[in-house]
Each structure stands twice: as structure tokens, then as C-alpha cells.
Amino acid sequence: MGFPSPITREQVAARILAGDNLIILRNKVIRVPPSWLATHPGGPLAILHFVGRDATDEVDAFHSDATLERIDRYTIGTVDVGEHGWLSFVPPIMSGWVRRITADGSKQWYNEASPFNSETDTAPSPSTQFLLVERTEDPPRPGPTLETLQPPPTPISPKIYAQHSAAYKVLHKRVIDAGLYKTRYITGYGPEIVRYTLLAILSIVAYRYGWFITSAFFLGLFWHQVTFTAHDLGHVGVTHDWTIDRLLGIFIADLLGGLSIGWWHLPFFAVSPVFFNSLWSSYYKRVMAFDAIAKIFIPIQHKLFYVIMCFARFNLYVLSYTFLAKHAFEPRKAVGGRWWWWGEVICLGLFFCWYSSLLMAIGNWKTALGYLVVSHVVTSPLHIQIVLSHFSRSTEDFGPVESFPARQLRTTVDVICSPKIEFIHGGLHLQVTHHLFPRLPRHNLREASMLVKEFAKEHNLEYAEFGFFEGNGEVRGVLKQVADQVKIVGMVADANIRDALKK
Ligand code: HEM
């Protein structure tokens, strides 16, 4: 399709300020229709955080070819991207602005939070970092302005990031040409299915013989293992068909594991000292308070790490069900309509039936409690693994200018392990490559990681990896660092109060 003349940067900004959700893909301007925003399978926030930005690499990484063609249909024109690519705007949501339906049915800007930028450019809190805090007074204007959209000055070079981005496209092509998007059903998932079946049989047999704690142990191992396949399905990384992967995902995650495939997340720790303020989460739509409870627990978070990890699965239940409750009255998803929601709710109901019958049939509440605890605690290495791959790395935000590959490499780390025992880590140990190519079938990640390592070396980017035990040490180190800083902040505050009282 030909377009008359390129849309100017000012026109793009004006349309965003008027409420259009425009993203830049290569040199094309895509207008995401409001209907897609509400019903997007990856959620509206994924799109809102890319309004005004070049989202080419992210969009290529997250979508199937068929979806990419569909996205292309929403092109409304082209832009001149310049020598170093499109200089991204700051999406309105990152400075606290969202669109809301008013009483008369029209959509207006609403300021849900205030931006909190660091005035100085320090390592833990760069000037490019966009954090939000609770809004305490009415905004001076009824909507975002041209100024709000301008990215803050950054010491990072757009030229270098443009080079990374161009090289990522070449890398992605190499991964595709090497056939790494082809799922290894027999050699990859074959052994997985045998392993899952064996663990399930061991759990059932032990239960039948009355060896309840042994049965709970194998059930925990079963959950630990199947979660990796649920994770693959959540990323549409098995059949690459959203409907089939979602159906399989609902069966495994919801029916067998009691968790929502539409949502799973991490237990919470503070990993950045910037958190010593209460922050507004544009994801949870609430203030993440640095309150009295946080002040008690954060100073000892490194000591509680493994204890919390043991019970992390309970947190996943809470978050899963909250997610489904919030989506109960949402519009139909563009893919999957509403059946995905009903499928999840019904399968979760069935999960509670089979698991609670299992506990009740034990006939002794102490053993039943032991069964509940053991089956959940055994899954804890999975949670530790997820934390390792993310929390020991940088949490700084270099703003919308940083390229996708540079950000993914900077914020993720691999856990080194022999291919013979990698089923224990279930592919999540190759997190760097997974974050660069989320739809890539898990059993091809090792081969792809070789190409990513070459890419990182060529572009002077760090491909971080550590051993499992070293990684545990790193994470506890980060948690302790932040804990110590909270203690210091507390001591300074106490000294100030004492001084004030003396005066
Ligand atoms: C008109 C624009 C868009 C359309 C029509 C669209 C459509 C879709 C569809 C159909 C899926 C399901 C997976 C698939 O079938 O490929 C999906 C998933 C997803 N999309 Fe989009 N999308 C759009 C824009 C974006 C943008 C700008 C982002 C942000 C970078 C984004 C991020 C995601 C994510 C994170 C997922 C989940 C994938 C995963 O968990 O692996 N999408 N999208």
C-alpha cells in the first residue's frame, strides 16, 4: 500500500496527545484500534508501554507470522526514521496518563499517578528511569503535553542502539533459517511426557499404599516439571497456534496445577533502593507501599529468601485468582473470545475438587497438612530459578531509547548446567535467549544461545551466566545490599528524630 507523504514527528505526537495509540514498526506508523487494545492477548499494557516508541524488535519477537501480517493491516502511514532509527517518545502511561471512559461515554485523559524522575544520573537510579508515585494534587493540565512525551536526556548513544537493533534483526533471521522455531515433539517433548507420566504414577502408587508424604513429594516434582511446559504454552511456543497452545495450557496449568495459564508471576522482594519510596504500579494499578510491614521485612529479606520461596506457590494461587476475577467482566478477547476464561475457571474448579478430595481421603488432618506443605515446598526450586534469572541483574531503566536486545541482555542471566540435567531447570536456565526469542521452542534454546553468544561478543554486550550455587549467592547478596540500605535509612531517620528532640 502506498502512502502519500511521511507523517511528521509533530503529527505523530499530536495524534498521541489526541488519544491515538500509535507505535512505530520499521518506518511504518501503526494505529492500534481501541478494539484491539482492550482485547489484545498480550494485554493492553504491553501495547500502551510502546505508544510513540519503535516497537519493531519486541513485536517481531512476540508474534507469529500470521499476527505480524494482521498488525501490518493497521498501518496508517510512514515516518522518516533518520540515520539512527526513530527517536522514541515517552508513552503517556509511563508518565501516569491513561484514557478513561467518562460519565457521558467519551474517552478523556486521566492522570492516575505522578512521574518520579531522579534529578541526578546515578547507577541505581539513572535520569532515564521512569517511576511513578501516587498523585497527591491535581495535574496542572487536563492531559499529557508535548513536553511529557519528550524522552529525558540520556548518556546512552542512539547510534549504538540502532546498530544493536539492526544486528538483532540479522540474528533473528539466523535463528529462523536454522529451523529453530520448529518444535521437537519427539526428541524434545517425548522424554518430557515419559518423565511427567512416571512422576504421576509414582505419586498415585505411593498414595494407594498409604505413603502419603512420598506421594506428596512426587506430586510436587510433577508440578515442578509440568510448569515448564505450561510456561512454553503460555508463550505460544509449542504448536505456535494460540488456540491449541492455550487449550493445552489450561489443561496443564489450571486443571493439573491449580494456577492460571493467563497469569503467573513472582513473589515479591525489594531489589532496588529506589523502592524506599512508595511507588505506583501501572501494572497492578495501585500504590506499592513502602509501609510499616515493608520496613520490618525488607531489612531481613535475605534471611527469609528460602522460607518465602518454599511457600511461593501459594502466592501464585492468590495472583492467579485475582487475575481471573479482574478479567471476569472484561470485553471478549480478540483471540479466544471468552472461552479461555470459562475454560480456566472450570478447570480450576476441577483442580480444587481433585486436590481437596485427595487431602480429605487421607483421613488424618496432620498428615493431610503435611501432604499440602510437602507437595508445595517441593516446587520451590522453580521459584528460586525464576528469581535467579532476573533479580541478580540490573533493575535500572535506561528509558525508551535503549534497544530491545541490549535491555534483554542487560537484565537477564543464564544458569550454567550440563545438558544431561537441564530438564531440572526446564529451559528457564537459558533465560537470556528466552527473553530475546520468547516464542522459541524450549528444546532449541541451547542451540540458539550459541548464536546469541556470538552476537553478544560481536557487539560488546555482556551475556551473563553463572552456576546455580553462585547465582544463589548473587541473589542473596543483592537482597542483603538493599536490606542493609534500608537499615541505614532507618538509622539516619532515628538520628534525625533524636537531634530534633534535643533542639
Ligand atoms: C495492532 C497491534 C497488535 C496486535 C494485533 C497484536 C496481536 C497479538 C496476538 C494475536 C497475540 C497472541 C500471540 C500470537 O498469535 O502471535 C499477541 C501476543 C502478545 N503481544 Fe501483541 N499485538 C499487537 C501489538 C503489540 C505490541 C505493540 C506489543 C508490545 C511490544 C505486543 C506484545 C505482545 C505480547 C507481550 C504478547 C504475549 C506473547 C507471549 O507471552 O509470548 N503486542 N499479540
Res 120: pLDDT: 63
Helices (H), strands (E): how many in the chain?
Answer: 21, 11
36-42 contact pairs (CB < 8 A, 24+):
36/74, 36/334, 38/330, 38/331, 39/331, 39/332, 39/333, 39/334, 39/335, 40/333, 40/334, 41/242, 41/333, 41/334, 41/335, 41/336
Among 101-115, 188-202, 288-302, the range scoring the smallest mean pLDDT is: 288-302
Tell me the pairing of strands 28-31 and 75-78: antiparallel
pLDDT above 70: residue 79: yes
Helices 339-360, 365-377: inter-axial angle, 10-degree rounding = 130
Of residues 502 and 222, the one with the higher pLDDT is 222
- Is residue 55 in contact with ligand 1, taking CB distance under 6 Å? yes
Indicate which residue's Cα is closest to atom 21 of ligand 1.
Answer: 42
Beta bridge partners of 492: none
Q: Which residue has the cell 546469541?
A: 452
Whose alpha carbon is nearest atom 13 of ligand 1? 63
Which candidate, 433, 428, 468, places its Cα nearest to that of 449? 433
ipTM: 0.94
Atom of ligand 1 nearest to the CA of 63: 16
Ligand 1 neighbourhood includes 242 CB (under 6 angstroms): yes
For the chain, state the CA radius of gyration: 24
47 CB under 6 A from ligand 1?
yes
Distance CA 228, CA 182 (A): 18
> Does 58 sit in the ligand 1 pocket, CB within 6 Å?
yes
Residue nearest to atom 4 of ligand 1 (CA): 71
Atom of ligand 1 at shortest range from CA of 32: 1
pLDDT at 269: 43
CA 131 to centroid of ligand 1, rounded, Å: 24
CA nearest to 288, candidates 311, 260, 269? 269
Q: What is the pLDDT averaged over residues 326-345?
A: 81
Nearest CA to ligand 1 atom 33: 42
Residues 373-383 have a mean pLDDT of 93
Report whether residue 324 contacts ligand 1, using a CB cutoff of 6 Å: no
Q: Is 63 in the pocket of ligand 1 (CB under 6 A)?
A: yes
CA triple 317-428-413, angle to 5 deg: 115
Does residue 59's CB lie within 6 angstroms of at least one atom of ligand 1?
yes
**Mean pLDDT to the nearest integer, 340-360:** 96
- The CA-CA-CA angle for residues 66, 320, 222, to 5°, reads 90
The best mutation among 63, 72, 93 to test binding of ligand 1, ranked by most ligand atoms within 8 Å of the C-beta, falls on 63
The CATH number that domain 9-167 falls under is 3.10.120.10
| Ligand 1 atom 11 nearest Cα | 41
Interatomic CA distance for residues 345 and 342, integer angstroms: 5
Q: How confident is the model at residue 232 (pLDDT cuts 50, 70, 90)?
A: very high
Answer with the residue of higher pLDDT: 153 or 70.
Answer: 70
The preferred substitution site among 67, 70, 242 for testing ligand 1, maximizing ligand atoms within 8 Å of CB, is: 67
Residue 337 reports pLDDT greater than 80: no
> Residues 5, 141: contact at Cβ < 8 Å?
no
Mean predicted confidence (pLDDT) in 79-91: 88
Please tell me if the CB atom of residue 274 comes closer than 6 angstroms to any atom of ligand 1: no
When pLDDT is averaged across residues 160-184 and rounded to a whole number, the result is 95
Is pLDDT above 50 for 266?
no
Other beta carbons within 10 angstroms of residue 68's beta carbon come to 13
For ligand 1, the distance from its centroid to the CA atom of residue 183, given in whole angstroms, is 20
Q: Whose CA is nearest to atom 22 of ligand 1?
A: 40
Q: What is the mean pLDDT of residues 157-169?
A: 89
- Average pLDDT, stretch 446-470? 92
Q: What's the CA-to-centroid distance between 59 and ligand 1, angstroms?
A: 7
Would you say the CB of residue 23 lies under 6 angstroms from ligand 1?
yes
For CA atoms 20, 23, 24, 28, give the dihedral sign: negative
Q: Which residue has the cell 502511514?
A: 77
Q: Whose CA is nearest to atom 41 of ligand 1?
A: 235
Q: What percent of the chain has pLDDT over 70?
A: 85
| Greatest mean pLDDT among 285-294, 463-472, 491-500 | 463-472
Nearest residue CA, atom 20 of ligand 1? 42
Task: Give the pLDDT confidence score for residue 265 in this predicted structure.
Answer: 42
